[in-house]
């Protein structure tokens, strides 16, 4: 939920770190900070001001130094203030660290360190890290040995970057939190995520779990942990060259990433249909043998799992169930021998999903992950990885990754029941329908609708079967991006309670396909009779529609185009209501803490 970044090279570190922080802001922001080393001196700056303001102040200082660290924080331990902002330092101020993750034994470590005479200045668990290293130095260990001891001392998740004022190097370590190193020409960019350094290099070294590394002017080295003689060895892993197709991070001419990402969906879908991910065939072999299939995900990815429950494996007669990652622990004991887990996650770093997968693996389940990050923690834990290949999704709200997840499930379905031959055809129809829905005329129509809904206190959304999943996902978008109270109902459940909420002018958005039109028309009349204003998304307008958005049926893939107008609507309402669509309040893109 936080972003860590570092720089070691020939150029001034501060401007590079500040740019990198900006690109990591999507991971959550409530405060930030940086440290730059210069000739044994340390310039430490921390702030709760907006990042742009922080940047202006720091740039005006012209900080000298070519090594540094920076951090954007999403608070877990301690309020968002400058003292809790990272980097954190040792008592003597020479050791500084940035951390993303949660230390489960943070309180215990802090108590021990305080007994040993250390003074803490923040409420964070992260501050224990520089003090632990300082304590090891006091006990006579070398800097390398002190850092390499951390995996034995820390319990929980961490991506740590650490510097010592007198050492021209950056130390790096990770467990269950992402950390990679961008490699330029004699310069290094360790960071939580690839986007942070992408404009500067497309060569990346992935770091494995609990592998203490040190980056200096001669390269990246692994610190020997278990040899009594200590020492370092060069990291023999070659950098991976990133695919240029997926490396575009620019907003182009768009005002926000969210809009750019919504409008990319016709092409992300087309790419998946034209060049289906290779591992699909291998996945078929695993799934055909499965005693049962659990689809696991959080947030939007969970909605994709719910879609999977309807659309996937039915033709092949498979037993498929969707589970929310954070709830999986309550169902784990029901996992039968031979079960296969399909874990859906855009980032591959969602802590709840990783936790659920680990527990399923503990019970012998095989794991297939469907993710946008092939080198993520989730991917590395999986028996098979199906890439979403949506390209970087930087707005906090999931958009193109969701439709790609639905598409991958349908492609997988096609693998399992090729005789059906409907899935790929329906995906092409979905692509065409998206093109219509993102046309200038369609967007202008949705903007009109946005003005009607932006002033309402709440919005209700309804659908049956897979269209209920669209209602759920649309409600999530309206909540997180537009900041509206939005509630989704099963179309058939209306009379069992929700009708009590309907009063004069209450907006209800209804999703349906051709086959469901008659029943939806009846439900709409009942709603209108009680004062509701009915907005519809489907191929044909209902007689009672107040406002209608035409989204052509695409067979099993209909939920793919039908979510597009609601993504656009949430975006437009956010703008009308003065909210930043890319950075919803209190949320972060990757939820790497439980």
Beta bridge partners of residue 384, listed in sequence order: 368
- ∠ CA 517-301-404, nearest 5°, is 75
The residues, ordered by sequence, that sit 6+ positions from 145 with a Cβ below 8 Å of its Cβ are: 136, 223, 230
Of 173-181, 292-300, 417-425, 451-459, the segment contacting ligand M6R by CB under 6 A is 292-300
Q: Known catalytic residue: 260?
A: no
Query: 564-593: which residues touch ligand M6R (CB under 6 A)?
Result: 590-591
For the chain, counts of helices (H) and of strands (E): 18, 25
The position carrying tokens 């900006």 is: 22
Q: Is 301 in the site for ligand M6R (CB under 6 A)?
A: yes
Residue 297 Cβ, how far from ligand M6R at the closest point, in Å?
Answer: 6
Pick between residue 272 and residue 591 the one whose CB is nearest to ligand M6R: 591
Query: 383-412: which residues touch ligand M6R (CB under 6 A)?
Result: 396-398
Report CA-CA distances (Å) from 273 to 269, 404, 414, 587. 6, 10, 11, 32
Which string of x and - marks every residue 50-89 that binds ligand M6R (by CB under 6 A)? ----------------------------------------
| Structural element, H or E, at residue 99 | strand 95-100
Q: Is 37 in the site for ligand M6R (CB under 6 A)?
A: no
Q: Is 377 in the site for ligand M6R (CB under 6 A)?
A: no
Of 29-37, 280-288, 299-307, 512-520, the segment contacting ligand M6R by CB under 6 A is 299-307
Q: List the one residue out of 159, 132, 149, 180 whose CA is nearest residue 374.
A: 180
Pick between residue 66 and residue 345 the one whose CB is nearest to ligand M6R: 345
* Alpha helices by DSSP H, 150-199: 150-153
Q: What is the DSSP letter of 200?
A: T
Pick between residue 133 and residue 396 the one whose CB is nearest to ligand M6R: 396
Q: 444 in helix, strand or coil?
A: helix
Q: What is the DSSP letter of 211?
A: -
Q: Is 268 in the site for ligand M6R (CB under 6 A)?
A: no
Pick between residue 261 and residue 553 the one whose CB is nearest to ligand M6R: 261
Q: Is 347 in the site for ligand M6R (CB under 6 A)?
A: yes
Q: Is 298 in the site for ligand M6R (CB under 6 A)?
A: yes
Pick between residue 204 and residue 370 the one whose CB is nearest to ligand M6R: 370
Q: 310 in helix, strand or coil?
A: helix
Say which of 2, 32, 305, 323 is annotated catalytic.
Answer: 2
Do 534 and 545 form a contact (C-beta atoms < 8 A)? Answer: yes
Q: 271 in helix, strand or coil?
A: helix
Q: Is 132 in the site for ligand M6R (CB under 6 A)?
A: no
Q: Is 382 in the site for ligand M6R (CB under 6 A)?
A: no
* Alpha helices by DSSP H, 139-290: 143-148, 150-153, 257-263, 265-274, 279-288
Pick between residue 36 and residue 569 the one whose CB is nearest to ligand M6R: 569
Q: 123 in helix, strand or coil?
A: coil
Of 310-318, 343-351, 495-503, 537-545, the segment contacting ligand M6R by CB under 6 A is 343-351
Count of residues engaged in binding ligand M6R, rule: CB under 6 A: 16
Q: Known catalytic residue: 589?
A: yes
Q: Which of 299, 391, 507, 565 binds ligand M6R (CB under 6 A)?
A: 299
For 432, phi then psi, to 5°, come to: -65, -40
The three state secondary structure string of 501-569 is HCCCCCEEEEECCHHHHHHHHHHHHHHHHCCCEEEEEECCCCCCCCEEEECCCECECCHHHHHHHHHHH
Report d(CA 268, CA 400) in Å as an integer.
7
- The CB-nearest residue to ligand M6R is 299
Q: Is 350 in the site for ligand M6R (CB under 6 A)?
A: yes
Residue 262 Cβ, how far from ligand M6R at the closest point, in Å?
Answer: 12
Q: Which of 84, 89, 90, 345 binds ligand M6R (CB under 6 A)?
A: 345
For 331, phi then psi, to 5°, come to: -115, -5
Pick between residue 305 and residue 340 the one whose CB is nearest to ligand M6R: 305
Q: 137 in helix, strand or coil?
A: helix
Q: Which of 72, 353, 404, 426 binds ligand M6R (CB under 6 A)?
A: 353
Residue 573 Cβ, how far from ligand M6R at the closest point, in Å?
Answer: 15
Residue 298 Cβ, how far from ligand M6R at the closest point, in Å?
Answer: 4
Of 107-115, 346-354, 418-426, 460-468, the segment contacting ligand M6R by CB under 6 A is 346-354
Which string of x and - marks every residue 415-454 that binds ligand M6R (by CB under 6 A)? ----------------------------------------
Report d(CA 573, CA 24) in Å as an integer.
25
Catalytic (active-site) positions: 2, 589
Residues at the interface with ligand M6R (CB under 6 A): 298-301, 345-347, 350, 353, 396-398, 476, 480, 590-591
């Amino acid at each position: 939920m936080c972003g860590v970044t570092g720089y070691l090279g020939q150029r001034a570190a501060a401007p590079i770190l500040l740019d990198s922080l900006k690109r990591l802001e999507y991971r959550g922001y409530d405060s930030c900070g940086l440290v730059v080393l210069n000739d044994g001196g340390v310039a430490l700056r921390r702030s709760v001001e907006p990042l742009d303001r922080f940047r202006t102040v720091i740039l005006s200082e012209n900080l000298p130094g070519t090594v540094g660290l920076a951090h954007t924080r999403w608070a877990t331990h301690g309020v968002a203030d400058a003292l809790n902002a990272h980097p954190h330092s040792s008592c003597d101020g020479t050791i500084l660290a940035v951390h993303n993750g949660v230390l489960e034994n943070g309180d215990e470590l802090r108590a021990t360190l305080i007994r040993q005479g250390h003074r803490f200045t923040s409420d964070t668990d992260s501050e224990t890290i520089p003090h632990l290293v300082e304590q090891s130095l006091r006990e006579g260990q070398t800097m390398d040995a002190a850092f390499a001891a951390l995996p034995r001392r820390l319990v929980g998740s961490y991506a740590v970057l650490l510097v010592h004022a007198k050492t021209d190097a950056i130390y790096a370590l990770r467990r269950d939190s992402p950390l990679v190193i961008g490699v330029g020409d004699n310069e290094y960019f360790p960071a939580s995520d690839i986007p942070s350094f992408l404009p500067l290099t497309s060569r990346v070294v992935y770091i494995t779990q609990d592998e203490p590394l040190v980056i200096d002017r001669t390269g990246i080295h692994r610190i020997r942990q278990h040899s009594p003689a200590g020492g370092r060895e060069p990291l023999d892993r070659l950098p991976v060259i990133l695919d240029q197709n997926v490396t575009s991070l620019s907003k182009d001419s768009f005002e926000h990433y969210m809009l750019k990402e919504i409008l990319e969906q016709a092409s992300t879908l087309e790419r998946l249909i034209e060049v289906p991910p290779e591992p699909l065939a291998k996945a078929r072999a695993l799934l055909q043998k499965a005693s049962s299939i659990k689809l696991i995900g959080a947030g939007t990815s969970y909605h994709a799992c719910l879609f999977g429950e309807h659309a996937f494996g039915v033709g092949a007669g498979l037993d498929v169930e969707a589970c929310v990652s954070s709830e999986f622990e309550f169902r784990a004991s029901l996992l039968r021998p031979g079960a296969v887990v399909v874990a859906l996650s855009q980032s591959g770093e969602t802590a709840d999903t990783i936790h659920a997968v680990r527990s399923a693996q503990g019970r012998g389940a095989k794991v297939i992950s469907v993710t946008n990050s092939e080198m993520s923690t989730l991917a590395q834990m999986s028996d098979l990885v199906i890439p979403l290949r949506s390209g970087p999704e930087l707005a906090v709200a999931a958009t193109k990754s969701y439709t790609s997840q639905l598409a991958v499930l349908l492609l997988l379905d096609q693998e399992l029941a090729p005789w059906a031959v409907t899935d790929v055809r329906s995906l092409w129809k979905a692509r065409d329908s998206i093109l219509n829905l993102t046309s200038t005329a369609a967007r202008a129509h949705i903007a009109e609708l946005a003005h009607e809904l932006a002033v309402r206190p709440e919005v209700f959304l309804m659908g049956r079967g897979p269209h209920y999943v669209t209602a759920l996902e649309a409600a999530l978008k309206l909540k997180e991006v537009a900041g509206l109270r939005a509630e989704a109902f099963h179309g058939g459940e209306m009379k069992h309670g929700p009708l009590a909420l309907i009063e004069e002018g209450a907006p209800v958005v209804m999703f349906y396909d051709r086959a469901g039109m008659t029943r939806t028309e009846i439900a709409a009349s009942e709603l209108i009779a009680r004062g509701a204003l009915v907005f519809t998304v489907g191929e044909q307008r209902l007689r009672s529609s107040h406002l209608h958005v035409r989204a052509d049926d695409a067979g099993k893939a209909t939920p793919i185009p039908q979510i597009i107008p609601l993504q656009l609507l949430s975006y437009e309402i956010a703008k009308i209501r003065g909210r930043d669509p890319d950075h919803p309040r209190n949320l972060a893109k990757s939820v790497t803490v439980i």
